[in-house]
């Protein structure tokens, strides 16, 4: 697989981790960083995540592949303008929602140069310092609306993800957003809500710190995630998020009512039903 000059737009957690993999797997002949934050751009240079930092237009002109790792609200605004600037470059986004994005460029004359993807990985941290080695290995990546991408762009993108150790799935953008709401977005909302509940009810920080178990820490870990990333995700995927929230609230209500009524049989059934997730997640 021939090395390419690659521009990474957004060198935070996702973009920075991708830059590490692109370098280590010898996929890049040079890495150009682009970031709206001058401090993050400088940090990415100092950490050697990228070889140089350039303004967006210069980075696109100097690259063969452009990887977009910015919040999804920025993606919707930037992607059409970026496609205006490309010639033969491959443009890949790593955003967590897809329907609005593919709709925004569906009639663009260079739509074929764009491949819509979502690597299913992340942590609660952000910025270049959060970038991790081997982050994407053995994780899934979704490629959406693959038939709308040019064959060469799709082929290189698939080969790139395979080389960094990812499992590739393909589906339409609408299906992706539905499934992401159920397996990713609701987890973050639940974590944010649980953190707010504990902070509202438990007024002593020390008690939370001293008494919090590993179970609590793992459940509330996502509440530390970057708001600038998650607000646009929830709003762009509004219909699916509201649907899953409605079901989640109904499930919480069932637990509430069974405890109020001392209904140990129904409470036991609710927990046993939940245990069935073991057949899917070991």
Looking at residue 207, its pLDDT comes to 72
Looking at residue 281, its pLDDT comes to 80
Where are the chain's structural domains? 4-172, 176-279
CA-wise closest residue to 126 among 199, 214, 227, 51? 227
Looking at residue 70, its pLDDT comes to 97
Give the pLDDT band (50/70/90) at residue 214.
low
pLDDT digits (tens, 9 = 90+) for 174-198: 999 999 999 999 999 999 999 999 8
pLDDT digits (tens, 9 = 90+) for 114-161: 999 999 999 888 999 999 999 999 999 999 999 999 999 999 999 999
Inform me whether the pLDDT recorded for 199 exceeds 80: yes
**CA separation for the pair 253, 260 (Å, rounded):** 10
Give the CATH fold of the 176-279 domain. 6-phosphogluconate dehydrogenase C-terminal fold (1.10.3660)
Compute the average pLDDT of residues 84-104.
97
Looking at residue 39, its pLDDT comes to 96
Mean pLDDT, all residues of the chain: 94
Residue 34's DSSP bridge partners are 9
**CA separation for the pair 27, 166 (Å, rounded):** 14
Compute the average pLDDT of residues 108-113.
98
Give the pLDDT band (50/70/90) at residue 43.
very high
Residue 228's φ and ψ, nearest 5 degrees, are -65, -25
Strand order in the sheet with 52-53: 52-53, 28-34, 4-9, 65-68, 90-93, 114-119, 140-144, 167-171
Inform me whether the pLDDT recorded for 203 exceeds 90: no
Looking at residue 30, its pLDDT comes to 97
Is the domain spanning 4-172 CATH 1.20.990.10? The answer is no
Cβ neighbours for 83, distance < 8 A, ≥ 6 positions apart: 91, 105, 108, 110, 111, 113, 114
Using alpha carbons only, what angle is made at residue 107 by residues 104 and 108, rounded to the nearest 5 degrees? 80
**CA separation for the pair 147, 140 (Å, rounded):** 19
Compute the average pLDDT of residues 85-106.
97
The answer to whether the beta carbons of residues 156 and 5 sit under 8 Å apart is: no
Q: Concatenated DSSP letters for 168-220?
A: EEEE-HHHHHHHHIIIIIHHHHHHHHHHHHHHHH---HHHHHHH--HHHHHHH
Helix (H), strand (E) counts: the chain: 13, 8
Residue 50's φ and ψ, nearest 5 degrees, are -130, 160
Looking at residue 204, its pLDDT comes to 74
Inform me whether the pLDDT recorded for 218 exceeds 70: yes
Inform me whether the pLDDT recorded for 213 exceeds 70: no
Inform me whether the pLDDT recorded for 257 exceeds 80: yes
Looking at residue 215, its pLDDT comes to 73
**CA separation for the pair 15, 216 (Å, rounded):** 29
What is the percentage of the chain residues whose pLDDT exceeds 70?
Answer: 98
**CA separation for the pair 56, 130 (Å, rounded):** 23
């Amino acid at each position: 697989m021939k090395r390419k000059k690659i521009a990474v737009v957004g060198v935070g957690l996702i973009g920075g981790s991708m830059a590490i993999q692109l370098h280590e797997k010898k996929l890049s002949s040079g890495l150009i960083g682009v970031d709206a934050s001058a401090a993050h751009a400088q940090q990415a240079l100092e950490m050697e995540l990228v070889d140089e930092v350039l303004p967006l237009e210069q980075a696109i002109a100097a690259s063969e592949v452009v990887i977009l790792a910015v919040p999804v609200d920025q993606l919707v605004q930037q992607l059409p303008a970026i496609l205006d600037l490309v010639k033969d470059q491959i443009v890949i986004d790593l955003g967590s929602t897809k329907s609005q994005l593919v709709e925004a460029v569906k009639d663009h004359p260079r739509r074929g140069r764009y491949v819509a993807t979502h690597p299913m990985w992340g942590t609660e941290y952000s910025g270049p310092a959060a970038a991790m080695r081997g982050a994407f290995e053995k994780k899934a990546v979704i490629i959406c609306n693959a038939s709308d991408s040019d064959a060469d762009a799709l082929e290189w993108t698939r080969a790139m993800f395979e080389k960094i150790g990812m499992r590739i799935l393909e589906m339409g953008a609408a299906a992706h957003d539905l499934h992401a709401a159920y397996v990713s977005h609701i987890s973050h909302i639940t974590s944010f809500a649980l953190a707010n509940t504990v902070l509202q009810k438990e007024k002593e920080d020390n008690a939370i710190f001293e008494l919090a178990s590993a179970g609590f820490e793992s459940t509330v870990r996502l509440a530390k995630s970057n708001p600038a990333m998650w607000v646009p995700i929830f709003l762009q995927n509004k219909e699916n998020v509201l649907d899953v929230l409605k079901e989640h609230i109904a499930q919480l209500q069932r637990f509430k009512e069974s405890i109020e009524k001392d209904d140990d049989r129904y409470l036991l059934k609710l927990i046993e039903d939940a245990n069935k997730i073991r057949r899917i997640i070991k």
